[in-house]
Amino acid sequence: MSAVPHTLPVGYKLHWYTIKNILGQGGFGITYLAHDTNLDKDMAIKEFMPRDLAARHTDMTIRPVDKETTESLHTGLERFIREARTLSRFSHHNIVRVHSVFEANKTAYMVMSYEQGETLLDILKHGQPSEEDLMEIILPLLDGLEEMHKQSFIHRDIKPANIFIRVDGSPVLLDFGSARESMTDETKTLTKFVTPGYAPFEQYYGKSDVQGPWTDIYSLGASLYRVITGETPVDSTFRNRSSGEKAILEIWEALEKYSDKYSIFFLRAIEHALRSNYKDRPQTVAEWRKMFTDPSVSTQTQWRFALSANPGKSVLTKPIAAVTPWKKKLIYALTGLIVIALITAIVIMQK
């Protein structure tokens, strides 16, 4: 007997959608490129298919792998449908639009806009983007995330592959198959599907009471780290084994190598987002945004190292002026004026 394919085959008819290709696969499901024969346009469709809980049968239906996973699969399906309906109410230029959700094949499908362009990783093929280029990507994405977080939703799977740059240059956050409600009393358990390197330590716990905006902030910070350094951050489960300051220093030393191309404030904002302890990260998008845009906030917060037993000795708390170019110039200018004044005074006294 031939093996049942894990994905729906190309050409498969799903209501008025025809499967054209597979766009991606993750822990929660499969995203397809499909043609809407009703509207005559391409759409992206996310199929709820948690790989650890379900399997596809010969009739293309999704069923639990065993009796023990039946309840979990059913609960997950209900939440997928409910949350897709909630996400469909979001209308933000930098969040992929969810148009509808429907049930078929004993699972559910989320219909989203199909965006044309390239991922954040793809743009690296054209050369390393400048700080200005990255800011044009980050700030709109933060606006979109802030809109999500206001509704108590967290994305939970932000990574370069899910950050898409449209043909017109505007960024859009894709793939909401892992999005979940946070900070609610309805449930305290979140399925533990993560992307190593981009998922913060608290996401491995699977508890909603320790996941929030700071979870997405970590993942977006890790994505920026990847763009700048060319390397995926060490997985948070390994970083968490180091002491707080050691874990921070490892990230900072990698970022600081690029201080000739990116400002210290910019790099510090990224490092701050990658703190192992979620309480030491920016707690809201608004707080993190200020670290990128307001130097005075950076001066007050980015050099603070709350976990250090001896903060006065930490290299992370050195005076901001020591590494800020324009302040260096100001100090040199003032020093020069003082020297000139002293020489003038000496000359006058000798007369």
Question: Strand 41-48 relative to strand 54-56: parallel, antiparallel, unpaired?
Answer: unpaired
Most confident of 126-140, 225-239, 288-302: 126-140
Pair 193, 298 in one domain: yes
List the structure tokens of 195. Answer: 């992307």
Pair 211, 188 in one domain: yes
- Taking alpha carbons only, the member of 140, 145, 134 closest to residue 282 is 145
User: Computed from CA positions of residues 231, 210, 150, 107, in that sequence, does the dihedral angle turn out positive or negative?
Assistant: positive
- Taking alpha carbons only, the member of 43, 39, 40, 38 closest to residue 20 is 43
Pair 160, 129 in one domain: yes
List the structure tokens of 82. Answer: 């409910």
Structure confidence at residue 178 (pLDDT):
55
Number of domains in the chain: 3
Structure confidence at residue 151 (pLDDT):
83
Pair 137, 264 in one domain: yes
Most confident of 51-55, 158-162, 259-263, 295-299: 259-263
Pair 183, 329 in one domain: no
pLDDT bucket at 249, cuts 50 / 70 / 90: confident
Helix (H) or strand (E) holding 252: helix 244-256
pLDDT bucket at 323, cuts 50 / 70 / 90: very low
Residue 282 pLDDT greater than 70, yes or no:
yes
Structure confidence at residue 30 (pLDDT):
92
Query: What is the mean predicted confidence (pLDDT) over 142-147?
Result: 94
pLDDT bucket at 180, cuts 50 / 70 / 90: low
Instruction: Please give the Cα distance from 177 to 83 (Å, whole number).
Output: 9
Which of the two residues, 185 and 3, has the higher pLDDT score? 3
- How would DSSP label each residue in 110-166? EEEE---EEETTGGGGG-PPPHHHHHHHHHHHHHHHHHHHHTTEE-----GGGEEEE
Domain that holds residue 98: 13-113
* Residues 189-210: tens digit of each pLDDT: 444 567 888 988 888 775 567 8
Query: What is the mean predicted confidence (pLDDT) over 140-154?
Result: 91
* Residues 159-177: tens digit of each pLDDT: 998 899 999 999 999 876 5
* In-domain check, residue 2: no
Pair 330, 307 in one domain: no
- Taking alpha carbons only, the member of 105, 101, 90, 86 closest to residue 44 is 101
Strands (E), 175-308: 180-181
List the structure tokens of 266. Answer: 């910019």
Pair 142, 251 in one domain: yes
Mean pLDDT over the full length of the chain: 81
Query: What is the mean predicted confidence (pLDDT) over 14-23?
Result: 95
